[in-house]
Amino acid sequence: MTTLQVRAHFSVPKIPAPPLKPAPGAPQPTPPKSVPDPRSVFVGFQYSFARLPDEPMRPRAADERVGHFTTARFDYTDDVSPKTRVNYVNRWRLEKKDAKAAVSEPKEPITFWIDRNVPEKYRPAVADGILEWNKAFEKAGFRNAIVVRQQTEQDDFDTMDARHASVRWFTGADLGFAIGPSHKDPRTGEILDADIATGYGFTRGPRRVVAEDLGHAGSAEPVAAFVADPLEAHRAGPDGLHLACGYAWQSAHELEFAMDLLEARGIGWDSPEADALAKANLKRNVMHEVGHTLGLRHNFRSSSVYTLAQMQDPAFTKVNGVVASIMEYSPLNIALAGGKQGEFVSGTIGPYDYWAIDYAYRELDPADEKRELAAIAARSTEPWLAYGTDEDAGYGKLYAGIDPEVNRFDLGTEPLAYYHKRVRLSRELWDRIQGLALAPGESYERLTRSLESGLRQVAGVAPLVAKYVGGVRHLRDRAGTNRPLYEPTPPEKQREALALLAKDLFQPASFAFKPEFVSRIGIDHFDRPRNPDFSIAASVLNVQKAALDQLLDDQVAVRILGAREKSADSAKAFTLHELYATLQGAIWSELENGRDIPRIRRNLQREHLSRLAGALVKPSPAAHPDARALQRESAVDLERRLRAAVARQGRSAEARAHLNESLHTLSEALKAPMARAGV
């Protein structure tokens, strides 16, 4: 093996000033904050060059019903096959010492080195997370398939080189960062090396400073950053997004929320319970990243197979975890106040993980391999083996998934009930901190952190609830299962989801905070913010925008229109008119009741009006003609209601001005010529 170490210096004479008028929606790069001088950055690289095995491993054909990373090859020797591409499972080379034994130790185990820079107090949790996978390998016929070794100060090798699979620790500005990449033989998909990087973001970080380090508490930016899918930060491009893993980033926020809520319930951040939770969370994240290094992809359908009752059962969750696969992005399993509490996080791998390892690693007779693999994959219809991955869940703003059952950070067979529960947990946290008496000398940032933590939870579930509207269940079945590959979400579920959003996000009481609490929201003055006034209204609007982005997406409208044609009883189908009317009624509810319109509500109404007027004046090229017609009908109805509301007395000057401006904007939009693309 040949290794090259490079220390690269990147420098610029000066940091360019941001544009005076940035392009709408365009990300604005910011200079790095974790270096002494952002004009000069040194970056270390290590390149390892290693020979491929002299004897290629026997490849194993992949099956789309089981989630493995794959290596693609093109076979031009078979002119009968309809496809030239073949996909091999990425997997380690494991061969039994005793080929005749049902269970045998491997000739060469998979060895993970724990780097010496991993803190001693966390090494047991890291080792447990690695070795947990031996349970699945034992079922697949290999005893002690994975071994763990601890690098000592006397060892003279670097765990970064290609000869050692490893888990490394780091301390950095990005508290939620963790990766589990691997290197494969391009001929066969054999995994040759893998290195996991994780850090203190899952232990010390979330206990105290995750909110400040991932986004300072002086603006609405932290919540806005959460709404924007963190996977986009990987900048992997559309073809590489399936390789990205944002679990660690969001998991750090999850632990922060749990710590805040538990502290509000009387369990301190430095208590034994909090320490145990931090270590359990670290073990869970290590299990997840090790799964990637073994060849497993994400499984975002595995969170929807256990019932809420099962997840509240400590005995059940101790044996089965809280999700059916550790390759899920699972939130912390937090019970409502006074409710029965199951395990907070999965402490073990799930039934899906056993199945995926069995498919990839079980030794099979070459003559029977095709048949036996087909039999293993055919179990995909079993409820606990349900599978859906990144492209099924979607990639945030790049494109949203269509299946409401495949999501990051949901939990239970009834996701809508879980989402409502998460909103209730956030409200519990807000209710507790609004009545919290801080100790003399304690910083008001404590309140800000908890406020933002709850907002992140609501921001996270809002788009997932919205996916039910116009949703389509998509399965990876093959012929013989008698299940439809594509099935529109039942109308009653769509109505339930829309009602949940209307109640929890778009009603006047959805975000109500006591004035005395709002006046105590503190900031980090060492951050020297230009505007020290924290805007709750701006943060709330970011949460609401996330739901509106999904609900008013052009493709959602197309799916709703198309679903009616597929419905056996079209009279009961959920309609696009129903969506637009329900949204408009909830967002503009003050027009009929004559109540005053506070700033948070005016912000939401302006956002809705802007989208509606924009659809009239310059509709999207992807907008369906029926959607455009219904939007114009909605605008005419809203204009009528605004005229009637303007004539009423009793509102504040700000509310009257808002209604008059809204009426003028909408009237002008209805009269304006349309700039339609392609018409």
The ranges assigned to domains in the chain are 110-436+492-498, 552-671
Q: What is the DSSP string of 552-601?
A: T-HHHHHHHHHHHHH-SSGGGS--HHHHHHHHHHHHTTHHHH-----HHH
Closest by CA to 327, choosing from 357, 358, 352, 306, is 352
pLDDT at 27: 65
How confident is the model over 423-439, as pLDDT tens digits? 999 999 899 889 888 88
Query: Per-residue b/e over 384-423, b at no fewer than 16 CB within 10 Å?
Result: bbbbbbbbbbbbbeeebbbbbbbbbbbbbbebbebbbbbb
Strand 146-150 to 110-114 pairing: parallel
pLDDT at 445: 85
Distances (CA, A) of 589 to 506, 602, 658: 9, 11, 14
Can you tell me whether residue 290 is helix, strand or coil? helix
Residue whose structure tokens are 């992949």: 62
Contact criterion met (CB below 8 Å) for 549 and 543 = no
pLDDT at 226: 38
Residues 6+ apart with CB under 8 A from 356: 66, 67, 68, 296, 325, 327
User: DSSP secondary-structure letter at 608?
Assistant: H
Residues 6+ apart with CB under 8 A from 156: none
Distances (CA, A) of 85 to 61, 297, 454, 645: 11, 20, 47, 63
Closest by CA to 460, choosing from 631, 160, 254, is 254
Question: Count of alpha carbons within 13 Å of 374, Cβ hemisphere only?
Answer: 7
Q: What is the DSSP string of 16-72?
A: PPPPSSPPTT-------SSSS-TTEEEEEEEEEE-PPPSSPPPP-B--TTS-B-EEE
How confident is the model over 273-284, as pLDDT tens digits? 778 888 898 999
Paired strand residues for 190 = 91
Token couple for 637:
């109805």
pLDDT at 453: 86
* Residues of the chain predicted below pLDDT 70: 24-28, 172-178, 201-253, 268-269, 396-399, 527-531, 674-679
Closest by CA to 345, choosing from 262, 295, 395, 280, is 280
pLDDT at 60: 98
